[in-house]
Amino acid sequence: MKAEDVITYLESLQNEKQREILMRFFKTGKGEYGEGNEFLGLKVPQTREVVKAAWKGFPLEEVPELLMNRWHEVRLCGLLILVAKFESLATKRLMNNEDAIRARDNILIMYLNYAEQANNWNLVDLSVHKILGHWLLLPTFLGDRDYKIEVLDSLAKSDNLWRQRMSIVCTWKTSQQGDPFWCLRYADMHLHHPHDLMHKAVGWMLRELGKRISMDLLRDFLNLHAHEMPRTALRYAIERMSEQERQYWMNKERIK
Protein backbone atom coordinates (compact mmCIF):
# COMPACT_ATOMS: atom_id res chain seq x y z
CA MET A 1 0.00 0.00 0.00
CA LYS A 2 1.21 3.49 -0.86
CA ALA A 3 0.36 6.96 0.40
CA GLU A 4 -1.96 7.67 -2.52
CA ASP A 5 -3.98 4.53 -1.72
CA VAL A 6 -4.43 5.60 1.90
CA ILE A 7 -5.39 9.15 0.91
CA THR A 8 -7.92 7.94 -1.66
CA TYR A 9 -9.52 5.58 0.84
CA LEU A 10 -9.73 8.18 3.63
CA GLU A 11 -11.22 10.71 1.23
CA SER A 12 -13.88 8.16 0.28
CA LEU A 13 -15.07 8.17 3.91
CA GLN A 14 -15.69 11.93 3.99
CA ASN A 15 -18.61 12.96 6.21
CA GLU A 16 -19.81 16.54 5.77
CA LYS A 17 -21.89 16.71 8.95
CA GLN A 18 -19.05 15.38 11.11
CA ARG A 19 -16.64 17.67 9.26
CA GLU A 20 -18.55 20.76 10.39
CA ILE A 21 -18.55 19.54 13.99
CA LEU A 22 -14.79 18.93 13.94
CA MET A 23 -14.06 22.30 12.32
CA ARG A 24 -15.78 24.00 15.26
CA PHE A 25 -14.34 21.70 17.93
CA PHE A 26 -10.75 22.14 16.78
CA LYS A 27 -11.05 25.93 16.47
CA THR A 28 -10.35 26.37 12.77
CA GLY A 29 -11.86 29.83 12.44
CA LYS A 30 -9.86 32.92 11.51
CA GLY A 31 -7.50 33.87 14.33
CA GLU A 32 -8.12 30.63 16.25
CA TYR A 33 -5.36 28.17 17.10
CA GLY A 34 -6.51 25.67 14.46
CA GLU A 35 -6.90 28.17 11.65
CA GLY A 36 -6.22 26.51 8.32
CA ASN A 37 -6.95 22.95 9.44
CA GLU A 38 -9.17 21.10 6.97
CA PHE A 39 -11.15 18.01 7.94
CA LEU A 40 -12.68 15.09 6.09
CA GLY A 41 -15.04 14.50 9.00
CA LEU A 42 -13.69 11.14 10.22
CA LYS A 43 -13.68 9.86 13.77
CA VAL A 44 -10.35 8.74 15.22
CA PRO A 45 -11.32 5.03 15.35
CA GLN A 46 -11.87 5.13 11.58
CA THR A 47 -8.34 6.40 11.05
CA ARG A 48 -6.96 3.85 13.50
CA GLU A 49 -8.56 1.05 11.50
CA VAL A 50 -6.70 2.22 8.39
CA VAL A 51 -3.45 2.37 10.35
CA LYS A 52 -4.01 -1.12 11.73
CA ALA A 53 -4.44 -2.50 8.24
CA ALA A 54 -1.62 -0.56 6.58
CA TRP A 55 1.31 0.13 8.90
CA LYS A 56 3.31 -3.11 8.67
CA GLY A 57 3.77 -3.00 4.93
CA PHE A 58 3.75 0.78 4.59
CA PRO A 59 7.15 2.14 3.45
CA LEU A 60 8.62 4.71 5.80
CA GLU A 61 9.57 6.89 2.85
CA GLU A 62 5.87 7.18 1.93
CA VAL A 63 4.90 8.67 5.31
CA PRO A 64 5.92 12.29 4.50
CA GLU A 65 3.32 12.36 1.73
CA LEU A 66 0.68 11.70 4.40
CA LEU A 67 2.17 14.21 6.81
CA MET A 68 2.17 16.96 4.20
CA ASN A 69 -1.42 16.33 3.13
CA ARG A 70 -4.07 19.05 3.47
CA TRP A 71 -6.45 16.81 5.41
CA HIS A 72 -6.15 16.62 9.18
CA GLU A 73 -7.13 12.95 9.25
CA VAL A 74 -4.54 12.00 6.65
CA ARG A 75 -1.82 13.69 8.69
CA LEU A 76 -3.10 11.86 11.76
CA CYS A 77 -2.87 8.61 9.83
CA GLY A 78 0.76 9.34 8.97
CA LEU A 79 1.60 10.13 12.58
CA LEU A 80 -0.10 6.97 13.85
CA ILE A 81 1.78 4.87 11.30
CA LEU A 82 5.00 6.30 12.73
CA VAL A 83 3.75 5.43 16.23
CA ALA A 84 2.96 1.84 15.23
CA LYS A 85 6.34 1.40 13.57
CA PHE A 86 8.21 2.91 16.51
CA GLU A 87 6.38 0.80 19.10
CA SER A 88 7.06 -2.38 17.13
CA LEU A 89 10.79 -1.58 17.38
CA ALA A 90 10.72 -0.68 21.08
CA THR A 91 9.75 -4.02 22.58
CA LYS A 92 11.85 -5.49 25.37
CA ARG A 93 13.37 -7.96 22.90
CA LEU A 94 14.45 -5.21 20.50
CA MET A 95 15.33 -2.48 22.97
CA ASN A 96 19.10 -2.91 22.52
CA ASN A 97 19.09 -4.36 19.02
CA GLU A 98 21.34 -2.20 16.83
CA ASP A 99 19.13 -2.38 13.74
CA ALA A 100 16.08 -1.51 15.84
CA ILE A 101 17.90 1.42 17.44
CA ARG A 102 18.79 2.82 14.01
CA ALA A 103 15.25 2.35 12.78
CA ARG A 104 13.81 4.08 15.86
CA ASP A 105 16.23 6.96 15.41
CA ASN A 106 15.14 7.33 11.78
CA ILE A 107 11.49 7.46 12.81
CA LEU A 108 12.29 10.03 15.50
CA ILE A 109 14.17 12.20 13.00
CA MET A 110 11.26 12.07 10.56
CA TYR A 111 8.80 12.91 13.33
CA LEU A 112 10.80 15.96 14.37
CA ASN A 113 11.41 17.09 10.79
CA TYR A 114 7.65 17.19 10.20
CA ALA A 115 6.67 18.32 13.69
CA GLU A 116 4.84 21.42 12.48
CA GLN A 117 2.51 19.21 10.45
CA ALA A 118 1.10 18.00 13.79
CA ASN A 119 -0.69 21.34 13.85
CA ASN A 120 -3.45 20.75 16.35
CA TRP A 121 -3.45 19.48 19.91
CA ASN A 122 -4.86 16.03 19.14
CA LEU A 123 -2.20 15.35 16.51
CA VAL A 124 0.46 16.10 19.12
CA ASP A 125 -1.25 14.30 21.99
CA LEU A 126 -1.91 11.06 20.08
CA SER A 127 1.69 10.69 18.94
CA VAL A 128 4.39 12.58 20.82
CA HIS A 129 4.64 10.53 24.03
CA LYS A 130 4.71 7.28 22.05
CA ILE A 131 7.55 8.42 19.79
CA LEU A 132 9.57 11.24 21.34
CA GLY A 133 8.67 10.44 24.95
CA HIS A 134 9.53 6.77 24.51
CA TRP A 135 12.75 7.60 22.65
CA LEU A 136 13.95 9.56 25.68
CA LEU A 137 13.93 6.32 27.67
CA LEU A 138 15.63 4.12 25.07
CA PRO A 139 19.15 3.59 23.71
CA THR A 140 19.94 5.80 20.72
CA PHE A 141 22.87 6.36 18.38
CA LEU A 142 22.01 10.05 18.03
CA GLY A 143 23.54 11.23 21.31
CA ASP A 144 23.68 11.00 25.08
CA ARG A 145 21.26 12.33 27.70
CA ASP A 146 22.52 15.88 27.13
CA TYR A 147 21.68 15.51 23.46
CA LYS A 148 18.15 14.41 24.37
CA ILE A 149 17.81 17.49 26.57
CA GLU A 150 18.98 19.64 23.65
CA VAL A 151 16.31 18.10 21.42
CA LEU A 152 13.53 18.92 23.88
CA ASP A 153 14.96 22.35 24.69
CA SER A 154 14.91 23.24 20.99
CA LEU A 155 11.23 22.27 20.84
CA ALA A 156 10.41 24.16 24.03
CA LYS A 157 12.18 27.31 22.82
CA SER A 158 10.65 27.19 19.35
CA ASP A 159 8.22 29.90 18.31
CA ASN A 160 5.80 27.20 17.13
CA LEU A 161 2.99 26.32 19.55
CA TRP A 162 2.83 22.67 18.50
CA ARG A 163 6.56 22.08 18.92
CA GLN A 164 6.30 23.70 22.34
CA ARG A 165 3.40 21.41 23.26
CA MET A 166 5.44 18.40 22.14
CA SER A 167 8.18 19.26 24.65
CA ILE A 168 5.81 18.96 27.62
CA VAL A 169 3.28 16.33 26.47
CA CYS A 170 6.05 13.86 25.58
CA THR A 171 6.75 13.67 29.34
CA TRP A 172 3.55 11.68 29.76
CA LYS A 173 5.63 8.62 28.80
CA THR A 174 8.62 9.43 30.96
CA SER A 175 6.38 9.92 33.99
CA GLN A 176 4.63 6.63 33.25
CA GLN A 177 8.07 5.01 33.45
CA GLY A 178 8.97 6.72 36.73
CA ASP A 179 11.34 9.46 35.52
CA PRO A 180 10.22 12.89 36.84
CA PHE A 181 13.09 14.94 35.41
CA TRP A 182 11.51 15.69 32.06
CA CYS A 183 8.11 16.79 33.32
CA LEU A 184 9.56 19.02 36.03
CA ARG A 185 12.04 20.66 33.63
CA TYR A 186 9.50 21.53 30.95
CA ALA A 187 6.64 22.37 33.28
CA ASP A 188 8.95 24.95 34.83
CA MET A 189 10.09 26.19 31.41
CA HIS A 190 6.52 26.68 30.19
CA LEU A 191 5.07 27.98 33.45
CA HIS A 192 4.43 31.48 32.09
CA HIS A 193 3.47 30.51 28.55
CA PRO A 194 0.76 32.85 27.23
CA HIS A 195 -1.45 30.23 25.54
CA ASP A 196 -4.27 28.40 27.29
CA LEU A 197 -3.44 25.18 25.42
CA MET A 198 -0.05 25.16 27.09
CA HIS A 199 -1.57 25.92 30.50
CA LYS A 200 -3.73 22.81 30.09
CA ALA A 201 -0.79 20.71 28.91
CA VAL A 202 1.45 21.75 31.80
CA GLY A 203 -1.26 21.08 34.39
CA TRP A 204 -2.15 17.76 32.79
CA MET A 205 1.47 16.55 32.78
CA LEU A 206 1.97 17.65 36.40
CA ARG A 207 -1.17 15.72 37.36
CA GLU A 208 0.24 12.65 35.59
CA LEU A 209 3.53 13.05 37.45
CA GLY A 210 1.63 13.07 40.74
CA LYS A 211 -0.42 10.06 39.71
CA ARG A 212 2.40 7.97 38.23
CA ILE A 213 5.39 8.89 40.38
CA SER A 214 4.74 10.86 43.55
CA MET A 215 2.11 13.22 44.89
CA ASP A 216 4.82 14.62 47.15
CA LEU A 217 6.89 15.58 44.09
CA LEU A 218 3.85 17.37 42.71
CA ARG A 219 3.33 19.13 46.05
CA ASP A 220 6.98 20.21 46.08
CA PHE A 221 6.49 21.79 42.66
CA LEU A 222 3.29 23.48 43.78
CA ASN A 223 4.94 24.84 46.91
CA LEU A 224 7.43 26.59 44.67
CA HIS A 225 5.06 27.69 41.91
CA ALA A 226 1.34 27.53 42.80
CA HIS A 227 1.29 31.23 43.60
CA GLU A 228 2.42 32.13 40.07
CA MET A 229 0.83 29.39 37.94
CA PRO A 230 -1.95 30.22 35.49
CA ARG A 231 -5.23 29.16 37.10
CA THR A 232 -6.02 26.66 34.34
CA ALA A 233 -2.67 24.91 34.79
CA LEU A 234 -3.15 24.79 38.55
CA ARG A 235 -6.69 23.38 38.28
CA TYR A 236 -5.52 20.62 35.96
CA ALA A 237 -2.55 19.77 38.20
CA ILE A 238 -4.62 19.32 41.37
CA GLU A 239 -7.62 17.50 39.87
CA ARG A 240 -6.92 14.23 41.68
CA MET A 241 -6.51 15.82 45.10
CA SER A 242 -9.19 16.03 47.77
CA GLU A 243 -11.53 19.01 47.73
CA GLN A 244 -9.88 20.35 50.85
CA GLU A 245 -6.40 20.20 49.36
CA ARG A 246 -7.57 21.66 46.04
CA GLN A 247 -8.98 24.64 47.92
CA TYR A 248 -5.68 25.06 49.74
CA TRP A 249 -3.70 25.30 46.52
CA MET A 250 -6.24 27.46 44.73
CA ASN A 251 -6.27 29.93 47.61
CA LYS A 252 -2.51 30.02 48.10
CA GLU A 253 -1.33 33.61 48.15
CA ARG A 254 -0.51 34.79 44.68
CA ILE A 255 2.18 37.19 43.54
CA LYS A 256 0.68 40.64 42.93
What's residue 252's pLDDT? 81
Q: CA 132, CA 108: separation in Å to the nearest integer? A: 7
DSSP 158: S
pTM exceeding 0.75: yes
So what's the pLDDT on residue 171? 98
- Neighbour-count burial for 128-158, b at 16+ CB within 10 Å, e otherwise: bbbbbbbbbbbebeeeeeeebeebbeebbee
Residue 256 pLDDT = 42
85, HSE (Cβ side, Cα atoms, 13 Å): 25
Residue 36: per-residue pLDDT: 85
Profile the chain (256 residues) by mean pLDDT over runs of 10 residues: 94 94 91 91 96 95 98 98 98 97 98 96 98 98 98 98 98 98 98 97 98 97 95 97 95 66
pLDDT of residue 254: 63
